[in-house]
Structure 1
């Protein structure tokens, strides 16, 4: 059992190489937050005998290692003074407060050395290791392209059903917009179908990367998909109006406006479902871990510690 106290945090930030981790927090209400955000069992040291609880959970052995942050020295009056003043099978030199220091490199992350048996420690598999900015962006690129393409397919199926009901002809605005953006030769009348599809699918796939980035940041669910729907409509209008192919939506016939908004909303929510499902495989995003510290609506919730935000 490895124990680390983070100064100024509502609960200690803990990582373990063994089977169980316990953490200490000041407020009993933060115990569930610690369990959600750090994957640990929180112990409110103001109302709990931490030393006794740790001995109970370890069969009388106590913690193997106590790692104290600056400002929470392991003295007798600290929350870990008692549990860290033990003697036992862990070899090493004594530290402040009587805690025993493990052998050099034992049980510490790869950057600090090897495990006590000489093996390289395993990389953490939780949200912390998956939440770096570089890893997040790599996953958002391919997952966003997949999610955006899926959203285009769902939107296209909906458009075909709507066209059979309303009799509306195919739109060639995407093709004409792409021709003007790329400098391609522009045909009058009906536009080439491959160009139309390239713009239709390509734009949707690229915008899916943004929606995946939202998911990995912790912006998931219907609220986020609703915000993304506005982004999708806005991106269309910027490109179409900048090239002179389109006109501001407020000048459209109301029927055409409603149909366009409906299909773009379908795209946004379908893309969001796929992006959220893929991002969930990496665990909660930084924003979600922050919200888990104090569930509910609060105006004064401090920022998530940088070590747990992945930035």
Structure 2
């Protein structure tokens, strides 16, 4: 049975716009897959697309770029699933970016998005939509095919000078890494993480959806049995973050994840990642990247570090219980 979760509601809001009828052979260049929908009566699945024209994905998140588009320019089209395979001149992803949230992953994607040769898709909702569909009973082989087609559609070249493509997933997608890698088995995977108390303090200030019970499909965010008091959001955040650390460890140990600690940013981008992926920015582009690194990755304002957090013994206790998982990743990285 399909259950509607918080992110599905967000997708419905983003799917508002002037309806364009699909027809066989329709040119979908400039259109981006947003979500997979199921007709309540027929049971048939369709893909909802948004037309972005030539608007570039330069915002902190995929949904921010869609929200920035003027209302009068928003066009929506619903197509059969097979239309995902109709786009050509698409780049396969150079890397997948996984993370624990509030750990510098948005900074990394914003630095890459500053380069005109890079297509950067930051948490595109079509991936979560397909994974929810998978957990609601869709065939695994079909899911892998659709994920591959959808990610290629996200990498469509529109300006002719794009040569690299990066996809950053939502943090809970580390639990689906094995499935996602089957869509592109040779694609390198990065995993960004940070000292637990800093992550928890950030979510205490402004909680992400994964840190609010009931917002995500439970199969996407497996948690151990617990007896947390109702409303104990800090305790719940600790369980979620512990699960993310734990999920990454076997993949990192097997050499399937390149680990990056928050403390290595932004320097590692310039000292390692650009050359690792064969990106050779001009001097002007490097300067633009360094300037972009001086503003808040999510909000675009001057960045002077995280706000000072008052002493919180309960948060420190939760973070202390997460230290073994964090230290295990550090040991693998170092």
Q: Give the structure-2-normalised TM-score.
A: 0.23
The structure in which a higher percent of residues are helix is 1
Which structure ranks higher in relative contact order (CA pairs < 8 Å, sequence separation ≥ 6)? 2
Asked which structure has the greater CA Rg, the reply is 1
